[in-house]
A = this chain, B = another copy of it.
Amino acid sequence: MNLAALLADLGDVPVITDPAIVRKRSRDFFWYSPILNAQLADKSADLIAAPRTEAEVIRVAGACARHRVPLTVRAGGTGNYGQAVPLEGGVLLDITGLSAIEWMRPGALRVQAGAMLNAVDAAMQPHGWELRMHPSTRRTATVGGFVAGGSGGIGSVTYGGLREPGNIHAARIVTVEPEPRVIELRADAAQKINRAYGTTGIITALEMPLAPAWEWIELVIAFDTFLDAARFGLDAALSDGIVKKLLSPVDAAITPYFGALKSACPPGRAALIAMVAEPSLESFKTLLAGRGTITHEAPADEHGGRVPLYEYTWNHTTLQVLKTDRSVTYLQCLYPHDRLLESVARMNAMFPDEVLPHLEFIRFAGRVTCSALPVVRYTTPERLDEIIALHEAAGVHIANPHVYTLEDGSRYKRVDADQLGLKHEVDPYGLLNPGKMRSYVPAAA
């Protein structure tokens, strides 16, 4: 790798070469997985390039192509599968300098990929809008990172995941070629960069739909059993007249790890964490009708560093447990919509004290179902594989978070054909984090 020649080509693009900093920024939250931790802990880029404009992104991309240097895009670094970890060194492209909102209009905005999610929402809220959904890492993640490495989150109970038509309006990407091109991918075509971990072009801007910025009320509701919480969560999720952003049943085995929120989680009882639009709150409580006890109720408010309730849900649940117990890890499940509660009951009975359940109600292909990121008391890789196999045998899909390639992390164990096709177009030398899309063989290599 001719890094000196590359550096000379980068001109005045800001660069960091301090190995300690480069090594630190080459990491993300892969350490939630003991398996990935062993595989990725020593990976590092050789230098960081931090472009401030799309023109500088193009300059870096062109230089990498000419000198055949790997390029890995990184933003907030909040991913869990090493999305931002360079497998073969090279340049780590820090995209967070591109953070401008290009335009907004009612129901949509266009924003540079490195904009922080919470900054975007803060800018939209005075206009009455916000992003439709965000991951639990909203306070540290970027729009581009979410689209490149995520699938859905808080808000998906209403809008489904990023994969649903209409949830990404467009993406602008820069190719990694000696003379990089800028390509606009619209509507369906924008899915080619969704959850491709930045391997199908450097995303520089995104056009995203907006949702009304409701006054969200955060609630914790205690239930006698986890299944009671799940049953009510399902009823609320199916109530199309009740506007909500989050419905997360959490088992009594998990809430003791909930730090500041413990006071709202009576020992031995399950909790449902919810975000409901203020005008729907009365109907939501009527639906609850004494089935559970509201232990916390307050308007969502992140001012003054208050911890938002969603930081106890999705994969932040795992983080809450990890704060006390570094031996746990997690899985990523998708439950079948047509026998949801039966499947939840069955899986929960299968691994007592080993797989600690919490659920995330979502819409998936138009149907209400649950995503789940259960906390797993980890013993061995073999047992983890066995737990995964038992889920899949029971009809619960697993997107394995203990692998770092696109293919192995997919529910289908292969990369999407459209994404593979786009990669041939935009990355002819296979420089975008080589090894991440392992089935890709560059024609020009």
**Which residues of A does B touch, CB under 8 Å?**
105-108, 128, 132, 158-160, 164-167, 169, 186-188, 209-210, 212, 214-215, 237-243, 277-280, 282-287, 289, 338, 363, 365-368
Q: Which chain B residue has the least Cβ–Cβ distance from A157?
A: B240
Query: Chain B's nearest CB lies how many Å from the CB of A369?
Result: 11
Residues of B within 8 A of A279 (CB): 105-108, 169, 209-210
- Bound-state Cα–Cα, A353 to B239, Å: 38
Q: Which chain B residue has the least Cβ–Cβ distance from A276?
A: B166
Contact of A367 (CB < 8 Å), options: B164, B289, B367: B367
Q: Which chain B residue has the least Cβ–Cβ distance from A164?
A: B241
Query: Chain B's nearest CB lies how many Å from the CB of A361?
Result: 11
Known: A187-B282, A188-B286, A286-B188. A240 touches B164 (CB 8 A): yes
Contact B282 A242 (CB under 8 A): no
CB<8 Å pairs between A and B, sample of 27: A105-B279, A106-B214, A106-B215, A107-B214, A107-B278, A107-B279, A108-B279, A159-B240, A159-B241, A164-B240, A165-B241, A165-B283, A165-B286, A165-B287, A166-B280, A166-B284, A169-B279, A169-B283, A187-B282, A188-B289, A209-B241, A209-B279, A212-B212, A238-B365, A240-B363, A338-B338, A366-B368
- Bound-state Cα–Cα, A365 to B287, Å: 13
Contact B366 A165 (CB under 8 A): no
Query: Chain B's nearest CB lies how many Å from the CB of A192?
Result: 13
Residues of B within 8 A of A338 (CB): 338
Contact B209 A280 (CB under 8 A): yes
Residues of B within 8 A of A242 (CB): 165-166
Residues of B within 8 A of A240 (CB): 158-160, 164, 166, 363, 366
Residues of B within 8 A of A286 (CB): 165, 186-188
Contact of A239 (CB < 8 Å), options: B165, B212, B280: B165
Query: Chain B's nearest CB lies how many Å from the CB of A18?
Result: 43
Contact of A187 (CB < 8 Å), options: B128, B165, B169, B283: B283
Q: Which chain B residue has the least Cβ–Cβ distance from A242?
A: B166
**Chain B CB within 10 Å — which of A164, A166, A338 has the most?**
A166
Query: Chain B's nearest CB lies how many Å from the CB of A106?
Result: 7
Residues of B within 8 A of A237 (CB): 366
- Bound-state Cα–Cα, A224 to B188, Å: 24
Contact B282 A169 (CB under 8 A): yes
Query: Chain B's nearest CB lies how many Å from the CB of A337?
Result: 10
Residues of B within 8 A of A282 (CB): 169, 186-187
- Bound-state Cα–Cα, A289 to B165, Å: 12
- Bound-state Cα–Cα, A289 to B214, Å: 33
